[in-house]
Amino acid sequence: MTDALYLVDFFERSKSACRIITVPATVDGNIHHSYIQTAIGFDTASKIYSQLIGNMLTDSASAIKYWYFIRLMGKDASHLAVECSLKTSPNYIIVGEECRDRNESIQDIVRNLCDVIEARANVGKNFGCVIIPEGLFKQISSFNNMIVEMNSLFRGVKSQDEASELQKKLQIDAEIKLLLTPWSYSLFNSLPDFFKQQIL
């Protein structure tokens, strides 16, 4: 939608006769407007994912020894995860917006999830399915603040070499401690190495 807006703006400024028609298409379900009833792709994606989740739920219930953790697309909103959960009834769904509203930390989310797994284990059900939206970390304020700080560090980078140099610098604990706020540094330091590498 943004790309279409740039094109429209360009054609308007250049007095072109070209017109742009935009078809709202997103699997995330994150395009909202009073003139848009639904975005193309959301219904199809939710049905296909629900079918796959249903297969996993069946496998989990028949094998009675696996927990499936399924991450669904949705960078900004948990719409797809919620829709699929309504269709399939997994054992647990993490809704990013609810986590944000409750001001939960990563530790809170993990603790809640562990409570569900433990409660099921106590009744002999050591299996299940958890739905996790892709954009969960954007909804966690402490994590989002850390990402904003990281992005501001990379904003001034002008070449790939500078970016690589900054990444190497940020892998040194003493360096990153100086560049991030204490809260963001503490959160970053608590993450596994592979996760830190992905963030950088």
Tell me the C-alpha distance between 20 and 40, whole Å. Answer: 18
**What does the chain come to in residues?**
200
CB atoms within 10 A of CB 45: 19
CA dihedral 85, 66, 132, 80 (to 10 degrees): -30
Concerning whether 28 is annotated as a catalytic residue, the answer is: yes
What's the token pair of residue 132? 């996790």
| Dihedral sign computed on CA atoms, order 166, 168, 171, 176 | negative
Q: Which of 28, 108, 173, 193 is catalytic?
A: 28
Q: How far apart are CA 68 and CA 118, in angstroms?
A: 15
Rounded to 5 degrees, φ, ψ at 101 are -65, -35
Tokens of 82: 């919620």
What single-letter amino acid sits at 132? Answer: I
Active site residues per annotation: 28
